[in-house]
Amino acid sequence: MVREDDDLESLLQRCASGDERALKALFDAEASRMKGIAMRVLHRSDMAEEAVQEAFLQIWRNAGRFDPALGSARAWMCTIVRFRAIDLLRSRPQEDALAPEDLDRLREAAVDHAWETLDREGRLAGCLQAIEAAPRRSLLLSYVVGLTQEEIAGKLGRPLGTVKSWMRRALLSLRECLG
């Protein structure tokens, strides 16, 4: 049985070699899914389309950096579009900014989506699953949405020292597991 990600992986390899038809095939296969991800972050179709366009430019430029040992091709591409959407969200003019509670909701959604779409067969997923829930959540809040340890402590209602310990142990565990 051939996994769909195998096709995406081969398209990424062809993109890394400069094959523009492979990029078009990737776009045709994944653009609508990626727009959906961007829409959940941005809530505006025009900005979501911009995020997808920028994501595909980044995919084209960085296709050679994709490592299937770290996760699926789809998860890699979805992460890129999510970061592009978050960057666009941050660059919005102040008058168009979201209310703090809406931004918190979007951050939580981004963390949940990152965890849910992680390739369960990949090494990273296995290593993350071995970490307890609260430290893993702290790590994801830091690396997926860019919260500081102080912000994570406030969000989770935990002492800063606890969050710092969680993060340190989680990172050491990941380094050892992925080693």
**One domain, residues 16 and 77:** yes
Q: What is the pTM of this model?
A: 0.52
Nearest Cα to 70, choosing from 18, 12, 27?
A: 12
Per-residue model confidence as pLDDT tens for the chain (179 residues): 334 555 999 999 999 999 999 999 999 999 999 999 999 888 888 999 999 999 999 999 999 999 988 889 999 999 999 999 999 988 876 555 667 778 788 888 888 888 888 888 888 889 999 999 999 999 999 988 888 999 999 989 999 999 999 999 999 999 999 88
Q: Per the structure, how many domains does the chain have?
A: 2
Q: Is the sign of the CA dihedral 113, 46, 76, 1 positive or negative?
A: positive
Query: In angstroms, rounded to a whole number, what is the distance separating the alpha carbons of residues 94 and 126?
Result: 40
Backbone angles phi, psi at 31, to 5 degrees: -60, -40
User: Which of 62, 97, 132 finishes a domain?
Assistant: 97
For residues 93 and 29, is the Cβ–Cβ distance under 8 A? no
User: Which of 77, 97, 117 finishes a domain?
Assistant: 97
**One domain, residues 113 and 149:** yes
Range of the domain at 29: 1-97
